[in-house]
Chains A and B, each alone.
Chain A
Amino acid sequence: MNVALAKTDTGRAVDRVFAPVRDRLPGAGKVADARRKAFEAFEQAGLPHRRLEEWKYTDLRALMREVLPLAGTPDAAALARARAALAVCAIEGAAKLVLVDGVFAANLSDATESGVSVRTLRDALEKGCADLLNASATDVMISLNAALVTDGVVVDVADGVALTRPIQIIHAATAAAASIVTRSRFRLGNGSRAALVESFVAADGAKAYQANDAVLVSVGDNAELSQLRLTADSLDAVNITSTIYAIGARAKLNLFNLTGGGAVSRFQGFLTFAGEGSELSVNGVNLLRGSQHGDTTLVVDHAVPHCTSRELFRAVVDDRAHSVFQGRIIVRPDAQKTDGKMMTRALLLSDEAEADNKPELEIFADDVTCGHGATAGALDDSLLFYLRARGLPEKEAQALLIQAFVGEAIEAITDENLRAVAMAQAERWLEARG
């Protein structure tokens, strides 16, 4: 494929995708200018492809081919289907904030506890908050998101608040062959504690949709955030989520990403330490089968000294599925006493399964501890035989070993409630494997 042709392809996207909706997207003036600029940036680059280092293993020109037109506003029937889907993914005790096909659904959402303010992104954009369209990370899919975003939630947790209930942002899709573009912001005040869950779920009738989500997270000084992402999209869907974090001083972030559904999924996290003495634990599992493609890409930026980061990833890859893990750790020149570790392991359950692991360490300070490790392999035959010699049928023996493999990453979730939810989701995947 030559570049000129590719540009022509994305050029078509302007006419088909952006132009028809430009006027009904929320926000005028500065907001509209920001959208236009973002779209120009996307248009110039087009969908990312394998010749871009960051997208080497996830060539969206091949995997997505094109950007689909935006989904329409959900009607009563769509909202009813979304409501039914909530039953599957809603976490007990959580305050739900529900987006259906990229539109906030107030009737399906819950009130949050005191100390939390929630408004819709649409409302904020209409009031001219153009900064919500900015992102410190530059990536062409984030630009596309800024250009087309329809709605999302803007959540602020005040200083010094310890939330008792998790906040769960649920993205329910009901659309077919359409783009669903959302953006949210979550700000956790100084000294506050919260648990945040994001779930992607396909309602009845959802088919071949393309979700593009962006989340801007800031964790205040001395604040503590536990976060769990669960993607259970339909098996023909695309989900590209970019999350951009700014972590304050002496703060703690415990993040877990579980990719289960979707034909093509990419979770890209850009995590920057903005204050000293903070701890980051980013973990996750990709559970993939059929011809699924799941990509977790993390950039951890130690911009300040005395911070600790831990990354532990597991991938279970069956059939012809493809798992990608890219982890970059940047240690800036001033970031002395940085302690960063990254470990990723892939379990390949079939000969055609593929796992790519790409660690990248960019260290510019001299007094740091940084390490990484990566392995890929099949289930250990000697362990399988031991279990089978004790009476476990093959599938059960495999399931027990896979569960143990995945469990090592899930153990890293500090919030007991969220850990149980992640474990249950992983067990469901194993049961469905049969």
Chain B
Amino acid sequence: MSLLEVRNLQVCVEDREILHRLSLTVNKGEVHAVMGPNGSGKSTLSHVIAGKPGYEVTGGQILLNGEDLLEMEPDERAAKGVFLAFQYPVEIPGVATMNFLRTALNAQRKARGQSEYSTPDFLKKVREVSQSLNIPQDMLRRGVNVGFSGGEKKRNEILQMALFEPQLCILDEMDSGLDIDALRIAADGVNALRSPDRAMVVITHYQRLLNYIVPDYVHVMSKGRVVKSGGKELALELEESGYAQFEDAA
């Protein structure tokens, strides 16, 4: 059984169809890149998989390990192992990062029928991961993402990804707003999480990110459809010739 199976997905926003019978299959251990021009529906796909309100699914299915994700609330999806790394992580003043991480982790564990993390185990784990991502401890004492730079926000997303140990990671435009050093740190963090038990869907506009996170498969989206799929060489081809050829194909 595939980890993620998107079948003929149709999605509308305010009566306008954004995704047209889109299909995508992702197996454990694989890294898929989804590329495409602005407005092709890449972010919509990531939002619908994570359960963001405001999208109407008018047809098709999304299955995670054979279970119907569309029937689940966003928090249930998270507990089942779906993790969306946000393109623009929000700032939450007044909610301390450590408190948030702990509350979220324990909520997921509770939903899975697992015991809560003990305080020393939790702190040890956060310390390990934050050090590897170059996240200073004082950042964890601040409000969630409050006053963080673009790079710090993305690192905080990867920190959460490492803590929550999801089965399916969706990285929505992880490279946006990052300089080359910040991008490298973030990509190293993601690569460290690659595992035979985990799959990743890397959504990006530019090929650049894929130099750091090398995908197994590349899909090109245009106008709400996957118009071409191939290996990692497809990304390089796109870099040369651009998206225009696919706009016509769609």
Contacts and interface: CB of A to CB of B under 8 A. Distances in A.
Interface of A: 380-383, 385-394, 396-397, 400-401, 403-405, 407-408
A403 B51 CA distance: 25
A391 B92 contact: no
Contacts of A380: 90
A394 B89 contact: no
A380 B160 CA distance: 21
A383 B83 CA distance: 16
B75 A388 contact: yes
Nearest to B143: A404
Contacts of A381: 53
A392 B75 contact: yes
B103 A388 contact: no
Given A390-B160, A393-B73, A407-B94, A400 B79 contact: no
A382 B90 contact: yes
A231 to B, nearest CB: 24
Contacts of B246: none
A420 to B, nearest CB: 16
Given A392-B75, A393-B73, A386 B94 contact: no
Contacts of B111: 391, 393
A400 B84 contact: no
Contact of B100 (A385, A393, A400, A407): A400
B52 A387 contact: no
Nearest to B101: A390
B151 to A, nearest CB: 18
Interface of B: 50-53, 73-75, 77-79, 83-84, 86, 89-90, 92-95, 100, 103-105, 107-108, 111, 143, 160, 164
Which 6 residue pairs of A and B lie closest in terms of their CB atoms, listed nearest first?
A404-B94, A391-B108, A391-B78, A390-B104, A388-B74, A391-B107
Given A389-B50, A391-B111, A394-B75, 14 more contacts: A383-B92, A385-B53, A386-B92, A388-B51, A388-B74, A388-B75, A389-B52, A389-B75, A389-B78, A390-B107, A391-B79, A391-B108, A393-B107, A407-B94
Main secondary structure of the interface of A (DSSP, over half): helix
B78 A388 contact: yes
Contact of A389 (B84, B92, B94, B100): B84
30 contacts: A383-B90, A385-B52, A385-B74, A386-B86, A386-B89, A386-B90, A388-B51, A388-B73, A388-B78, A389-B50, A389-B74, A389-B77, A389-B78, A390-B100, A390-B164, A391-B79, A391-B105, A391-B107, A392-B103, A392-B104, A392-B107, A393-B75, A393-B107, A400-B103, A401-B92, A404-B92, A404-B95, A405-B94, A408-B93, A408-B94
A32 to B, nearest CB: 53
Contacts of B107: 390-393, 396
Contacts of A385: 52-53, 74
Q: Which of A387, A396, A401 has the most CB of B within 10 A?
A: A387
Contacts of A400: 95, 100, 103
Contacts of B94: 403-405, 407-408
Contacts of A387: 92, 100, 104
Given A387-B104, A391-B111, A394-B73, A401 B95 contact: yes
A404 B51 CA distance: 24
Nearest to A392: B107
Contacts of B93: 404, 408
A396 B50 contact: no
